[in-house]
Structure 1
Amino acid sequence: MILDYETLKLVWWLLVGVLLIGFAITDGMDMGVGMLLPFLGKEDTERRVIINTVGPHWDGNQVWLITAGGAIFAAWPIVYATAFSGFYMAMLLVLFALFFRPVGFDYRSKLPDPRWRTAWDWGLFAGGFVPALIFGVAFGNLLQGVPFRLDDMLRSHYEGSLFLALLPLLNPFALLCGVVSVAMLALHGATWLQLRTVDPLAGRARQAALILGAVVVVTFALAGVWVAFGIDGYRVVSQAAPGSLPDPLAKEVVRAPGAWLDVYGRMPLAVLAPAVGFLGAALAVLFSVAARPGLAFLSSALAQAGIILTAGFSMFPFIMPSSTHPGSSLTVWDSTSSHLTLSVMFWAVVIFLPLVLTYTVWCYSRMWGKVTVEEIKARSVSAY
């Protein structure tokens, strides 16, 4: 079966979304646990319990982020190049924060000095909090538009200061999106800790989930109101046929208030995405109160999927709109690789993604069970 070019463009938009959701559910869980580590663990043994709930899997989960980056590079090369120009300092900050995770997991327990271990606990916190915040801030800036243009040779030019690039990114709306991201990942980590630990740690995680779930609902609602009434969206007025060869400059784009809500008029079913986001966060809180950690974890995962899909659906077909030159904005239809490249990548996904998912499920099943303080104390040497 050979898919036509237009269909493949749409398929890869969906697949990149799947990879981002997979990253949020798996590695986002690890980041959420890291953010909660210094606060829920009251003494060293409890913190070792928290670390051991994600220790065997965090590196495998992070592959989702690497794969998503690779997919964007291969499927949307011009988006990848433009994003690195505009978000270069932000990406470096994420990279440096992620360094704390492998080193923290491996070296935290090598010395018994409380100061050494506490320092690494806060390093693991930074390794979860900083990327979560920056990812949310990045989406907030995408919704507002990024200051770049394409020249006649389709070379992207970022129209901002490279070394001061972080300052414009940290605007109020983007920071609100960052809070949504931090809260939803921390909520996911709290539901995971309920699932993998026992009281009193599980009880503290339940209390944290109540607060974080409320923060997710409130901030997600505020972001939605802001998108509807506070910032201009982008709208394609005319463009080449979706199945034609990519040419980002062969279209006309305008900015207009409320344009990010157009999709909900064209496709009413798209409203299910924000509904799932709100419902998932609310159910995560309710199931936490009811001491049903498995259902709370699944609800939290649904909340993340709904929130990410809401951003994707609202921006469709835009991937990276330009705030300074709207006609240079990059969309699903005009920023992709060749038909052959998308086809080869598609069949690679069809073959290998089920194998990766099967192996991941097997790994979790082999290492499943509650992690307890007694188990940690019984070990004279721990890998984490």
Structure 2
Amino acid sequence: MANFLAILSGGGVTLLIVALFLSISNLAALYLSVRKQHLVRSALFVFTALGVMMFPVYGGGDTLLDQRAAILAVATIFGSVATAMMTALAMLIYRAYVGGSAMLAGLLGITLMLAVSVLLVKWWRHRHAAQPYAGRLILAAGIAAGLCSVVSLLLVGPGGKGLDLVQQEGWSIFLVQVVSTCLFGFMLKLHVEREHNLEELRQKNSALRDTLVQTIGALSAAMMHRDPAVASHEKRVAELAVAIGAEFGFDRDRLEALKLAAMVHDIGMMQLPAEILMRPRKLTEQEFALVKLHAQNGYEILRTVEFPWPLADIVHQHHENFDGSGYPLGLSGEAISLEARILRVADSMEAMLSHRPFRRAHALDHALASLEQGKGKAYDPQVADACLRVLRDNKFSFVPPVRSAA
């Protein structure tokens, strides 16, 4: 037992290597695909195996005592057969490079451990497929690593030298392999289970997002049946709003929120009488007062649903003017969310460029001039400029094509 603590003290370096292993694995999980993560993990097992072999304890003559068997066992459990073979090959090459009279015993020990580890893991997963990283497997692999290390000591010769080494260091090297396998194995088990739980959470969040997107789609479809003109208006507003948002450098998630808000920004219109929406003339003051309620009505409809985006607030504010003259809250400037300011511009531009029951569509030049005149008043100047760039640089066009007014 004399070298038990000495070998584990070499594990101080091993623990640093393991900590580096886990840190790099975490970074890989954030930035790399699953396939590349597996490649990184395989490379890390090779690096860890070589690391522990570079800091051995000498058990007598040139016999090297280290935690190689433990690392190989863990690589087989948490990697693959290919990972285990790569790790073992790196060990064999390094041990042959170091040389010495105990080299053959070392090479045979590594080969034996590879075979035992692969057979043990395959047998376990055939019997317990639902528990690929069970604690009992890690413990069994640690015991196997310890026994293989003891057997490799027996192979050190000549003249009964191996038996003497087993008597002197057998229990030490056995316990070191068991303890090291369990420590490293259970650390990786926690790491893998955490990754698995995070992936499950991501899948559930993705499913929830899909459900919410479908909810928006259902609301939009309901509006299509109620008033096809309003629904097609919202679709075109959404397309232009996304183009403006992209001009601001919005990420994918924020663009999705903007698109969904635009798709239902007039959801409150569903509470208005159809004859007001379809009337082929300008609205009276009383009728327009009813129409102005749609922003508040839309907010009341959407705020009851817990979306991961502030859709209700965007819809609530989409008729607020930059100078504070809008409705329903009379907000101004930065108090209006950027998404709502974008929606304000996109909504107005689509209205000017589309036919209405009481007028034909305006020409593009007329709409752009109106947008210029409204900067700082109805429209945020930066949003208006972004919209002008989008339309003038042909980054966006309405479908069907806009026709000039007669």
TM over 0.5: no
TM bracket, shorter-chain basis: under 0.3
TM-score, length-scaled by structure 1: 0.27
Structure number with greater CO (CA < 8 Å, separation at least 6) is 1
TM-score, length-scaled by structure 2: 0.26
The structure with the largest alpha-carbon Rg is 2
Which structure is higher in strand share? 1
